[in-house]
């Protein structure tokens, strides 16, 4: 369990459905356009705080091993120590197409960014994640939620983060970091 030594935060991110990839062979000017939608459930919810060392509170052995590895990778990319304690409240099932890999990777980067007060913006964290190589749907559903149409990228310029043609931002609470003592959030 998390202790009272440091402030406790809560992070929540929605799962997503990625509905299609458009023009995968590059016959038009753009490749890998797509559309997707954020789902309220299942969701990833984590309570976390600074810690003297990495601590993971989960009974799922595979999740523990996955997170141990991913947290160390993300900490290396941010050039920080992985001194964070995580308590898993709920998770997105892995390997069934709901975006758990992207959500975990971006969540870990955001948590470490918050704990270490690095001040990196979403573009920097997305670049460091290495996600979004073909489509930006997983990234955009985490950042904005709702329904997303991704314009893809030019056939000769593959990038990590793609232009969006449409984002339905009617509900922008698809990821939040809550600080328990201040009752504020940032997204």
CB–CB of 26/134 below 8 Å? no
Q: pLDDT band at 164, cuts 50/70/90?
A: low
Cβ atoms of 97 and 135 closer than 8 Å: no
The mean of the pLDDT values for the chain is 82
Residue 104 has pLDDT above 90, yes or no: yes
pLDDT score of 178: 44
Residue 67 φ then ψ, to 5°: -65, -40
Which has more pLDDT, 170 or 104? 104
In this model, does residue 92 exceed pLDDT 90? yes
What percent of the chain clears pLDDT 90, i.e. is strictly above it? 47
CA angle 128, 129, 131 (to 5 degrees): 130
Q: How many Cβ atoms from other residues are within 10 Å of residue 115's Cβ?
A: 21
Q: Are 174 and 38 in contact (CB under 8 A)?
A: yes
- pTM of model > 0.85: no
> 99 to each of 6, 38, 122, 158, 184, how far by Cα in Å?
30, 10, 18, 21, 27
How far apart CA 44 and CA 152 sit, in angstroms, is 26
- The answer to whether residue 51 scores a pLDDT higher than 80 is yes
Q: Is the pLDDT of residue 171 over 60?
A: no
> What domains lie within the chain, and their CATH numbers?
9-182 (3.30.230.10)
Task: Determine what percent of the chain is predicted with pLDDT higher than 70.
Answer: 82
């Amino acid at each position: 369990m998390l202790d009272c030594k440091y402030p406790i935060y809560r992070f929540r991110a929605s799962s997503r459905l990625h509905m299609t990839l458009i023009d995968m062979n590059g016959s038009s000017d753009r490749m890998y356009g797509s559309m997707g939608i954020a789902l309220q459930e299942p969701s990833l919810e984590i309570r976390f705080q600074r810690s003297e060392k990495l601590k993971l509170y989960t009974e799922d052995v595979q999740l523990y091993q996955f997170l141990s590895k991913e947290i160390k990778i993300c900490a290396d990319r941010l050039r920080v120590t992985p001194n964070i304690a995580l308590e898993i409240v709920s998770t997105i099932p892995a390997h069934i197409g709901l975006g758990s890999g992207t959500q975990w990777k971006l969540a870990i980067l955001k948590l470490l960014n918050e704990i270490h007060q690095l001040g990196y913006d979403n573009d920097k964290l997305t670049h460091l994640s290495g996600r979004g190589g073909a489509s930006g749907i997983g990234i955009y559903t985490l950042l904005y939620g709702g329904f997303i149409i991704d314009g893809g990228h030019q056939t000769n310029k593959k990038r990590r983060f793609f232009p969006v043609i449409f984002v339905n931002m009617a509900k922008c609470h698809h990821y939040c970091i809550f600080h328990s003592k201040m009752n504020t959030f940032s997204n």
